[in-house]
Amino acid sequence: MRVVRYVVVHDCGKLINPLIVDGQIRGGVVHGIGNALFERMIYDEAGQPLTTTYADYFLPLASEMPPIEIHHLETPSPRNPIGVKGAGEGGTIPTAACVISAVENALGPNAPFIHFHPISPQQVVKWIE
């Protein structure tokens, strides 16, 4: 299971430094994909964490990330003198929902409503069966 392409259209108001904003959006998308597919905490029956090191807690690697296409809209904010808005959250917040929705769509019309994340390849196989 992998994401093959991710497109972001983002309005951060007046774009002051495009390279920094691109980096914030790109990092946010990677964070969101990690939330959707990788970053899993596992606990035992007593509630003690079994995921205690980065060897157990998977983080996304650059090699697992799709091409991320970023498009900027510039709608200046009237709330400050230079018209800027926040930038980093636009990559992070919707990404997990987008990835989970894509999995639901790929599973077809009888797919379950996936109400949690991260999801694992093993769970996807169970849903297919």
Asked if residue 37 has pLDDT above 90, the reply is: yes
Does 26 reside within a domain?
yes
Q: What per-residue confidence (pLDDT) applies to 54?
A: 87
Q: What per-residue confidence (pLDDT) applies to 104?
A: 95
Chain centre distance of CA 78: 29
Query: How far apart are alpha carbons 11 and 18 in whole angstroms?
Result: 12
**Mean pLDDT value across the chain:** 92
* Count of domains forming the chain: 1
Q: What per-residue confidence (pLDDT) applies to 93?
A: 87
pTM over 0.95: no
Does 124 reside within a domain?
yes
Does 38 reside within a domain?
yes
Domain hosting 38: range is 6-128
DSSP for 2-69 reads ----EEEEEE-BS-S-HHHHHHHHHHHHHHHHHHHHT----B-TTS-BS--STTTS----GGGPPPEE
Does 1 reside within a domain?
no
Q: Contact at 8 Å (CB) between 33 and 3?
A: yes
Q: What per-residue confidence (pLDDT) applies to 49?
A: 95
| Percentage of the chain exceeding pLDDT 70 | 100
